[in-house]
């Protein structure tokens, strides 16, 4: 039995479950950044609970920190298993987007996006080795000490620090830093949509960064593609301008983006990274199976 502040006693498992639930949103956020998948993040948190429920936690002083390392270890195993199963290199694969209202994310989205990790950053994290991703996510995004990270990856603290350093260099070189002003983001995205709808190639080029990167993920039946440069991206945007005609502004991972629908069903999610007042990256999910699983309640009404 476990003693509580009022002097009463409670069943150990029920008490631990209550404490675990208090940290669930944080643990989901950690797992989402580690895995880039909402469903796998839920699985990782549940697996962590199974491990925790069989552990002796009496000596744990910082339960939140300890749970973070437990989830990190579960996610590392999942990433390594994912890598081992991958026999051939995949094409473009986008992480699951988190959709919120353009007027502000709901409580669940707020918990997942507490530090505004955009989709473009998650795309870069997908390219890291599992141990590098863990070191970067736990240390740089959640402040876990390298001593604790070292125990998870089976290396010394200096090696864990080096893992995070390598990952940090990759991220800085590949993920554009987004403009923080949501009003500016909205202005740029709306300018992009107007130009796409009207087929104005020059206006599209003007709103795009010269080195813009556009990635699309259509799922297993429609392999993803990647485009580089304002001219190539503008040309493709005009080709698919029919999607822009049904566009709804939303927040995609905390940044202004677009959901395009047809007959009430989502056709695409477009995640914009606006940097320096222009579109620096554009990530488009068109995989029908994954779109059907997204929580798009913000579009209701």
Q: Residue 274's pLDDT is what?
A: 96
Higher-pLDDT residue of 238 and 278 is 278
Q: Residue 175's pLDDT is what?
A: 79
- As a whole number of angstroms, the distance between CA 76 and CA 89 comes to 20
User: Around 47, how many Cα atoms within 13 Å sit in the side-chain half-sphere?
Assistant: 17
Model confidence at 109: pLDDT above 60: no
* Mean pLDDT within 147-164: 96
**Arithmetic mean of pLDDT over the chain:** 86
> Across the strands, what pairs with 265?
262
Residue 264, sorted as left (phi over 0), alpha (psi -120 to 50) or beta, turns out to be: left
Q: Which residue has the tokens 């199976």?
A: 289
* Mean pLDDT within 280-299: 87
Q: Are 72 and 48 in contact (CB under 8 A)?
A: no
Q: Which residue has the tokens 């502040």?
A: 5
Mind listing the pLDDT tens digit for each residue in 179-223? 989 999 999 999 999 999 899 999 999 999 999 999 999 987 777
Q: In the chain, what is the straight-line distance between the N-terminal and C-terminal CA atoms, in Å?
A: 49
Degrees, nearest 5: CA angle 72-75-81:
145
Q: Residue 267's pLDDT is what?
A: 87
Phi, psi of 11 (to 5 degrees): -60, 135
**Secondary structure (DSSP) of 203-238:** HHHHHEEEEEEEEEE--TTS--EEEESHHHHHHHHH
Model confidence at 11: pLDDT above 70: no
Tell me the percentage of the chain whose pLDDT exceeds 70.
86
Which secondary structure element, helix H or strand E, spans residue 240, and what is its range? none
Q: Residue 167's pLDDT is what?
A: 95
* Mean pLDDT within 79-102: 78
Q: Residue 233's pLDDT is what?
A: 95
Mind listing the pLDDT tens digit for each residue in 52-74? 888 777 667 788 888 999 999 99
**pTM, entire model:** 0.84
Q: Please, which pLDDT band fits residue 104 given cuts at 50, 70 and 90?
A: low
Q: Please, which pLDDT band fits residue 108 given cuts at 50, 70 and 90?
A: low
Model confidence at 110: pLDDT above 70: no
């Amino acid at each position: 039995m476990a003693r509580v502040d009022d002097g009463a006693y409670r069943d150990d498992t029920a008490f631990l479950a209550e404490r675990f639930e208090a940290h669930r949103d944080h643990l989901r956020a950690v797992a989402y950044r580690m895995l880039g998948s909402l469903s796998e993040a839920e699985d990782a948190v549940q697996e962590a609970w199974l491990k925790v429920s069989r552990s002796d936690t009496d000596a744990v002083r910082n339960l939140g920190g300890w749970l973070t390392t437990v989830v990190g270890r579960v996610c590392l195993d999942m990433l390594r298993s994912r890598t081992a199963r991958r026999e051939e290199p995949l094409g473009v694969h986008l992480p699951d987007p988190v959709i919120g209202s353009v007027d502000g994310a709901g409580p669940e989205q707020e918990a997942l996006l507490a530090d505004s990790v955009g989709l473009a950053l998650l795309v870069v994290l997908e390219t890291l080795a599992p141990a590098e991703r863990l070191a970067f996510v736990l240390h740089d995004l959640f402040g876990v000490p390298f001593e604790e990270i070292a125990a998870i990856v089976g290396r010394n603290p200096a090696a864990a620090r080096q893992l995070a350093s390598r990952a940090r260099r990759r991220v800085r070189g590949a993920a554009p830093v987004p403009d923080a002003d949501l009003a500016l983001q909205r202005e740029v995205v709306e300018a992009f949509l107007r130009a796409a709808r009207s087929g104005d190639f020059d206006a599209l080029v003007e709103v795009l960064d010269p080195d813009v990167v556009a990635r699309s993920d259509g799922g297993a039946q429609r392999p993803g593609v990647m485009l580089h440069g304002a001219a190539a991206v503008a040309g493709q945007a005009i080709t698919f301008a029919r999607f822009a005609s049904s566009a709804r502004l939303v927040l995609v991972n905390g940044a202004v983006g677009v959901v395009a629908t047809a007959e009430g069903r989502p056709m695409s999610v477009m995640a914009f990274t606006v940097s320096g007042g222009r579109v620096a990256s554009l990530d488009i999910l068109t995989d029908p199976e994954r779109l059907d699983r997204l929580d798009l309640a913000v579009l209701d009404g």
